């Protein structure tokens, strides 16, 4: 038996970094997926084959000995094998359409898909159970993770997320798409989060004022999203970008990419931790081609992304 699960990547539409200090964020999942296929084996090993490399370890290998790239998936595998008292090993194969390390949720989608795929060999986990295990897995590499990414990769659609874990799925049909452009600079979320903490400690008043402004911006944006008011949503993206620049997480390259779409998109901002990663530009059918054309004319790699509304999906197939 093979259990195959896939989970979508994500972008943060609004609120990255400020959410770490109690704010809200708005995230959406996108139609680029990571797929994980797992199968029980007769060995005592957990074997992973992925675009980022391969690994074969004893199924009881202490987690601290595992390469961080594979740690979350090994964690999920060990946890599930132990929970179901399984004598088997596991073969896991990972394929991804989501570029890694650029804020598009590849590691969260991987944790969600792994939790769903591996649990599917033994039981029928609910989305809530998949999410809980995925967040535990993510914490093996980034202890303070907010859980927002895994949440949107699990449920799909657009969600409003608060640091205390409150999730609200926004139930409207978005009449927009995003263009995602990749700066090709990989970032470490934990390093950028530490940098923001330093900014906050050095500039407590400015930071507190920005948190307040971001909170109002998000409330106003929620209203505009419900009305599919692209002009307002775009203007709010531009304002959110200004807040991110003030806390020092944007850079010259991201600035140039945003400048390229300035007059053609409804609005644009960096997405995720920053210091590299991606920008997102708000478009619909009227300006999609122009935004892609503008970015490609400057040799920036980009793609159109639609909002994924399904979240994690899992099915079981007979082997082979
Ligand atoms: O990992 P990224 O690039 O999607 O960004 C994470 C978002 C932060 O707000 C910076 C951190 C967090 O845990 O919410």
Q: Quick one: pLDDT at residue 172? A: 79
Residue 186: what pLDDT? Answer: 86
Residue 142 alpha carbon, nearest atom of ligand 1: 13
Whether residue 127 contacts residue 312, with contact meaning beta carbons closer than 8 Å, is answered with yes
Question: Is the four-CA dihedral 20, 259, 242, 269 of positive or negative sign?
Answer: negative
Measured in Å, residue 184 CA sits from the centre of ligand 1 at 17
- Summarize the confidence of residues 43-50 as an average pLDDT: 96
pLDDT exceeds 80 at position 38: yes
Ligand 1 proximity of 193 Cβ (cutoff 6 Å): yes
- For the segment 299-320, the average pLDDT, to the nearest whole number, is 93
**Other Cβ atoms within 10 Å of 240 Cβ, number:** 27
pLDDT band at 147; cut points 50, 70, 90: confident
- Ligand 1 atom showing the smallest separation from residue 102 Cα: 3
Q: For residue 308, what is the DSSP state?
A: P
Mean of pLDDT over the chain? 95
d(CA 293, CA 312): 32
- Split at pLDDT 50, 70, 90, the class of 234 is very high
pLDDT band at 276 (very low <50, low <70, confident <90, very high): very high
pLDDT at residue 95 tops 80: yes
Closest approach atom of ligand 1 to CA 249: 10
| CA dist., res. 262 & res. 289, Å (int) | 14
pLDDT the model gives residue 190: 82
Question: Residue 164 has what pLDDT?
Answer: 80
Q: How far apart are CA 74 and CA 94, in angstroms?
A: 13
Closest CA to 68 of 92, 52, 51, 83: 52
Q: Is the CB of 244 under 6 A from ligand 1?
A: no
In short, whether 19's Cβ falls inside 6 Å of ligand 1 is yes
CA angle 192, 196, 198 (to 5 degrees): 115
8 lines ligand 1 (CB under 6 A): no
Query: Beta strands 24-41 and 268-271: pairing type?
Result: unpaired
Does 319 have pLDDT greater than 80?
no
Please tell me the distance between residue 11's alpha carbon and the centre of ligand 1 in angstroms. Answer: 10
Active site residue: 44, 149, 201, 212, which one? 149
Provide mean pLDDT across the span 243-265. Answer: 97
**How much is the average pLDDT of 234-254?**
97
User: Is residue 27 pLDDT above 80, yes or no?
Assistant: yes
Query: What is the bridge-based pairing of β-strands 2-14 and 313-317?
Result: antiparallel
**Residue matched to tokens 């081609």:** 289
Ligand 1 atom, smallest distance to 16 CA: 9
Q: Does ligand 1 lie within 6 Å of residue 149's CB atom? A: yes
User: For a pLDDT cut of 70, what percent of the chain falls above it?
Assistant: 100
> 148 CB less than 6 Å from ligand 1?
yes
Distance between Cα 104 and ligand 1 center (Å): 10
- 99 pocket-lining for ligand 1 (C-beta < 6 Å): no
**Mean pLDDT, rounded, for 38-51:** 96
Q: Is the pLDDT of residue 146 over 80?
A: no
State if residue 16 touches ligand 1 by the CB under 6 angstroms criterion: yes
pLDDT at residue 265, as a whole number: 98
pLDDT for 243:
98
Atom of ligand 1 nearest to the CA of 187: 3
Q: What's the DSSP call for residue 307?
A: B
Write the pLDDT tens digit of every residue in 195-205: 999 999 999 99
- Residue spans of alpha helices (H) in 16-62: none
Which of 9, 12, 99, 135 for a ligand 1 pocket mutation test, highest count of atoms within 8 Å of Cβ?
12
Bridge partners for 12 per DSSP? 27
Tell me the per-residue pLDDT of 102-133, one tens digit each, with 9 for 90 and over. Answer: 889 999 999 999 999 999 999 999 999 999 99
In this predicted structure, the answer to whether residue 73 has a pLDDT above a threshold of 90 is yes
Annotated active-site residue 201? The verdict is: no
The residue ranking higher by pLDDT, 167 or 249, is 249
Q: How far is the centre of ligand 1, averaged over its atoms, from the C-alpha of 259 (Å)?
A: 23
| Ligand 1 center from residue 48 Cα (angstroms) | 26
Q: What is the pTM of this model?
A: 0.91
Least confident window among 164-168, 178-182, 192-196: 164-168
Q: Taking residues 237-252, what's their average pLDDT?
A: 97
Give the Å distance between the CA of 317 and the centre of ligand 1.
35
How far, in Å, is the centroid of ligand 1 from the Cα of 82? Answer: 31
Domains with residue ranges and CATH for the chain: 2-173 (3.30.230.10), 177-305 (3.30.70.890)
Q: Residue 145: which of 190, 95, 84, 82 has the closest Cα?
A: 190
Secondary structure (DSSP) of 182-226 = E------HHHHHHHHHHHHHH-HHHHHHHHHHHHHHHHHHHHHHH
C-alpha 220: how far from chain center = 23
Residue-level pLDDT at 93: 98
> Which tops the pLDDT comparison, 270 or 144?
270
Please give the average per-residue pLDDT across 289-309, as a whole number.
Answer: 97
């Amino acid at each position: 038996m093979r259990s195959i699960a896939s989970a979508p990547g994500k972008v943060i539409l609004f609120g990255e970094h400020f959410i770490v200090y109690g704010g809200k964020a708005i995230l959406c999942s996108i139609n680029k997926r990571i797929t994980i296929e797992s199968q029980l084996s007769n060995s005592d090993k957990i074997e992973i084959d992925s675009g980022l490399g391969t690994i074969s370890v004893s199924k009881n290998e202490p987690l601290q000995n595992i390469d961080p790239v594979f740690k979350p998936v090994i964690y999920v595998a060990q946890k599930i094998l132990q929970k179901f008292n399984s004598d088997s090993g596991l073969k896991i194969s990972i394929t991804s359409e989501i570029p890694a390390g650029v804020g598009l949720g590849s590691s969260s989608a991987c944790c969600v898909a792994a939790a769903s795929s591996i649990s599917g060999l033994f039981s029928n986990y609910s989305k809530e159970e998949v999410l809980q295990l995925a967040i535990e897995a993510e914490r093996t590499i980034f202890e303070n993770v907010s859980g927002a990414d895994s949440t949107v990769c699990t449920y799909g659609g657009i969600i409003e997320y608060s640091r205390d874990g409150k999730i609200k799925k926004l139930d409207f049909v978005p009449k927009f798409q995003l263009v995602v452009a990749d700066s090709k600079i990989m970032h470490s979320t934990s390093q950028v989060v530490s940098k923001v903490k330093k900014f906050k400690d050095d500039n407590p008043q400015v930071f507190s004022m920005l948190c307040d402004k971001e909170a109002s911006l998000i409330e106003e944006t929620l209203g505009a999203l419900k009305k599919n008011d692209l002009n307002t949503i775009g203007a709010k993206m531009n304002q959110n970008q200004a807040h991110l620049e003030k806390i020092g997480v944007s850079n010259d390259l991201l600035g140039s990419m945003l400048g390229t779409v300035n007059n053609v998109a409804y609005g644009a901002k960096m997405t995720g931790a920053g210091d590299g990663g991606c920008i997102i530009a708000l478009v619909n059918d009227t300006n999609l081609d122009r935004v892609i054309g503008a970015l490609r004319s400057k040799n920036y790699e980009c793609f159109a992304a639609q909002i994924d509304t399904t979240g994690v999906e899992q099915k079981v197939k007979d082997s082979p």
